[in-house]
Chain A
């Protein structure tokens, strides 16, 4: 039985099935380090996006105190924003810890134990994210 390869074209063959940028987020067949690679890219893009968003939001300060206060009241204490705060925290923790891992392994300081380091940072990151999320929720409840 014959079936067409999804999305295939001759350009793909000439270029040799090069995975391209979409290959970065193609999780098929990827292992632990591949997942760290994918997460690092996604969180990096997410944090970059947040940086611009942050600057846009801060620009409300220039409008005046009342504009800023209403932004805080109407938006940032909303549970959806609370969830986005947790997502942001997760992105920063993952990208930050992975950056430390990349520096330690990438400059040859920890090579043989790189997998153990990845697992240890994964556990540490999960703990930090859970603690941060609980803190956000309890702070919001107190307001």
Chain B
């Protein structure tokens, strides 16, 4: 006997040129291990092929399936439907980003801000206790924690009112460069972080840290940036162009 139950998905719909967005309801049979992304792809496959959503890896590493499920920002691919505990599951695109179609938002502005932080994509690996690097490998490297999903920006109340805010992910990336510059001149990016629309704009809701699916702790990084800016006595040069955040 199959262990499935019917769950209603209330999904945000919007296509370019639509007068208004609306919600569509879909009934989906879910099993104990069905994720929200499984359900959405099933809807697209069997009920409405026009439903637009983004995904790639299905295992929390590409960061493309960020969306709001029952008002919380999550990665749909690792969000178990049954564990949500609701008969109806509300699915919406991330906040604070332009909606392109249905559940897809334009990540362009987010990536552009991320670029200014020099994209610290790799870091020295923290080895499991008792392990060691392979012979001939001077130091194991691994990818940074941030999967660039944009969830932190959606959860941030400041990003909701200040379009110029550099945002949690970019500021966390700047702090990572400060911690491990690896040859990068940190002066320009620290001046960028010192901008009123950057590290000092955060109001410590810590929603980004709570929502981040990859344990980046963006708010913690912003506080460390502030401490560093404060300690070093960085001053924002008034004549300097602040182009990167615009």
Residues on A lying within 8 angstroms of B by beta carbon are 1-5, 8-10, 12-21, 23-24, 28-34, 36-37, 40, 101-102, 105-109, 111-112, 114-115
Contacts and interface: CB of A to CB of B under 8 A. Distances in A.
Interface of B: 12-14, 18-25, 68, 70-73, 92-99, 105-106, 155, 157, 159-161, 163, 202-207, 209-210, 219-220, 223-224, 226-228, 230
A21 B161 CA distance: 6
A30 B205 CA distance: 9
Nearest to B24: A2
B220 A23 contact: no
B207 to A, nearest CB: 5
Given A5-B12, A16-B97, A19-B157, A34 B205 contact: yes
Given A19-B157, A31-B207, A108 B226 contact: yes
A124 to B, nearest CB: 18
A10 B22 CA distance: 11
Contacts of B157: 19, 23-24, 34, 37
Given A106-B204, A108-B224, A112-B220, A20 B23 contact: no
A15 B14 CA distance: 14
30 contacts: A2-B23, A3-B25, A4-B20, A5-B20, A8-B20, A8-B22, A13-B21, A13-B98, A16-B96, A16-B97, A17-B92, A17-B99, A18-B96, A18-B160, A19-B96, A19-B161, A20-B161, A24-B157, A32-B206, A33-B207, A34-B205, A36-B205, A101-B204, A106-B223, A107-B226, A108-B227, A108-B228, A108-B230, A111-B224, A114-B223
